[in-house]
Amino acid sequence: MRSYWIIIVYLALSVGCSDDSDYVYENEIPDSMRTYFDSFALEASERGWSINWEAERISGSFDDIDTDAVGQCETYDSGRRVINIDKTYWERSSDMQREFLIFHELGHCALKRDHLNDTGAAGKCISIMNSGENLCSIRYNSATRSAYLDELFL
């Protein structure tokens, strides 16, 4: 199992492995996450990607993540991938913060992107795939969303 974490202050990375050969995908995306998965797939399709969560075996789950991380993309040896989101963080987050977090984790899980910590003009992070460990600032809002998504699905 390989894990990426997005956190506010620093990055945690853990590596392991697991056997889940008996795993069967059963539509496992929580309702409150599904709207963001759907939105991600739509934005992806508009940029030339074709993503099917079941075929890709990508699911979502809420967890009490016991580090300072708020999200994680778990990758199993079988190819199954799970986005774990910290329930407490989720419940106090805005719509845009939730979208940012899900899109970041799906950037790992669905697009197989690594972190990109480059800084652009005025100290702005150039990518949603920023790890949170550097000093650039993310301004993800309705004005910047489109450009960030173009970079995400490049």
Of residues 92, 86, 91, 94, the one with CA closest to residue 67: 86
Residue 4 binds Zn ion, judged by CB under 5 A: yes
Residue 6 binds Zn ion, judged by CB under 5 A: yes
Residue 21: CB minimum distance to Zn ion, A: 27
Residue 59 backbone phi and psi in degrees, to 5: -130, 175
**Where does this chain touch Zn ion (CB under 5 A) — which range of 1-9, 27-35, 49-57, 62-70?**
1-9
HEC secondary structure over 122-135: HHEECCCCCCCCCC
CB-wise, 29 or 83, nearer to Zn ion? 83
Contact 154, 116 (CB under 8 A): no
By CB under 5 A, how many residues form the interface with Zn ion? 2
* Number of Cβ atoms within 10 Å of the Cβ of 43: 19
**Where does this chain touch Zn ion (CB under 5 A) — which range of 5-13, 22-30, 51-59, 142-150?**
5-13
**Where does this chain touch Zn ion (CB under 5 A) — which range of 2-10, 51-59, 118-126, 139-147?**
2-10
CB-wise, 23 or 116, nearer to Zn ion? 116
Report in angstroms the alpha-carbon separations of 12 from 7, 119, 138.
8, 21, 19
If you compute the radius of gyration of the chain from its CA atoms, what whole number of angstroms results? Answer: 15
CB-wise, 80 or 107, nearer to Zn ion? 107
- The residue ranges that bind Zn ion (CB under 5 A) are 4, 6
